[in-house]
């Protein structure tokens, strides 16, 4: 989704044929960049590629948050995300959201499997990196380091961009 400022710029550029070409290129770039506009934000360790790490802003009183990302295993052997850590929170856990009796509940995970040649998305309403006892609220526009530890690929530090909360899909922390 394109925010109102970017949409306004695209509309103004689209009033001439040259502007239309620029607007198309800009729009394509925004779509390919995905959340946060971080085109090409990818991090690599061995055969593991991690891209689009994002967290959503939290209210001032919030004690917890979550990080989401995409892990791609380009190798011929499975790997596992074993743990994560960040200076932004006192503790970090791997979690999964499950629905039991119509109620969404979080369950801690010991690891997250990434199959050989496979892609795993950590996303709202599913598996995610839980940030417990935040040291300060997550503010839109900020970023923080997150170290992911894989069984085979080893440790990988990524930069998580904090975005404003959008919609109510999934759960909030």
Q: What is the mean pLDDT of residues 5-27?
A: 40
Q: Is the pLDDT at 61 greater than 80, yes or no? A: yes
How confident is the model at residue 167, as a pLDDT? 64
**pTM summary value:** 0.74
Q: Is the pLDDT at 25 greater than 70, yes or no? A: no
Q: What is the mean pLDDT of residues 85-110?
A: 96
The per-residue pLDDT of the chain, averaged, comes to 82
> Which of 87, 40, 89, 85 has its CA nearest to residue 63?
89
Residue 132: which CATH number? Answer: 2.60.40.1890
Contact in structure between 129 and 68 (CB atoms under 8 Å)? yes
Number of domains the chain contains? 2
Q: What is the mean pLDDT of residues 126-133?
A: 98
Q: Which of 15-29, 35-49, 73-87, 138-152 has the lowest mean pLDDT?
A: 15-29
Which region, left, alpha or beta, applies to residue 101 given φ > 0 means left and ψ of -120 to 50 means alpha? left
How confident is the model at residue 163, as a pLDDT? 96
pLDDT bracket for residue 41 (50, 70, 90): confident
Q: Is the pLDDT at 122 greater than 50, yes or no? A: yes
The verdict on 93 and 26 lying in the same domain is no
| Residue 63 within a domain | yes
Burial class, 60, CB count within 10 angstroms (exposed 0-12 / middle 13-18 / buried 19+): exposed
Question: What is the helix (H) or strand (E) element at residue 29, kind and residue range?
Answer: helix 17-33
The verdict on 105 and 146 lying in the same domain is yes
| Residue 168 within a domain | no
Q: How far apart are CA 154 and CA 146, in angstroms?
A: 14
Full residue range of the structural domain in which residue 139 is found: 42-163
| Residue 173 within a domain | no
How confident is the model at residue 64, as a pLDDT? 97
């Amino acid at each position: 989704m394109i925010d109102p400022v970017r949409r306004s710029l695209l509309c103004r550029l689209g009033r001439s044929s040259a502007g239309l070409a620029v607007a198309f290129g800009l729009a394509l770039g925004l779509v390919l960049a995905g959340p946060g506009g971080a085109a090409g934000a990818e991090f690599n360790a061995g055969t593991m590629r991690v891209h689009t790490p994002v967290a959503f802003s939290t209210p001032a009183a919030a004690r917890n948050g979550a990080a989401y990302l995409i892990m791609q295993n380009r190798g011929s052997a499975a790997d596992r995300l074993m743990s994560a850590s960040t200076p932004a929170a006192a503790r970090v856990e791997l979690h999964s959201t499950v629905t039991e009796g119509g109620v969404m509940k979080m369950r801690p995970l010991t690891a997250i499997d990434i199959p050989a040649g496979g892609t795993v998305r950590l996303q709202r309403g599913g598996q995610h990196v839980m940030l417990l006892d935040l040291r300060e609220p997550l503010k839109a526009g900020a970023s923080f380091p997150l170290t992911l530890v894989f069984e085979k690929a080893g440790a990988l530090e990524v930069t998580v961009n904090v975005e404003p909360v959008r919609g109510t899909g999934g759960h909030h922390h």
